[in-house]
Amino acid sequence: MDLGTAVAIMRSGILNILILAAPVLLIGMGVGLMVSVFQATTSIQEQTLSFIPKIAAILAALFVFGPWMLSRLTQFTIQIFQRIPDVAG
């Protein structure tokens, strides 16, 4: 295996991590921002208020995006397994 192949595999893996994590992280960040605006508007400074909406939104995002994420991860795994002969030889 040469350096170019290793870099391509690592680049592809990092890109897949970013693509798979982005929807869940963005939804969690958006809900957190909305809760923060609500807390600032109403002067409610309860620290635990932000956790339940964020957890619910992230679970909903995983439920919605889960099949797509699993499909993409399966395709990446198959591509990695198909590259084993190229890497070993």
Return the axis-axis angle of helices 51-82 and 3-42, rounded to nearest 10°: 170
d(CA 19, CA 13): 10
Amino acid 13: pLDDT: 94
Q: 48 is in which domain, residue-wise?
A: 3-88
Q: pTM, whole model, 2 decimals? A: 0.81
Amino acid 25: pLDDT: 96
How many independent structural domains does the chain possess?
A: 1
Amino acid 37: pLDDT: 92
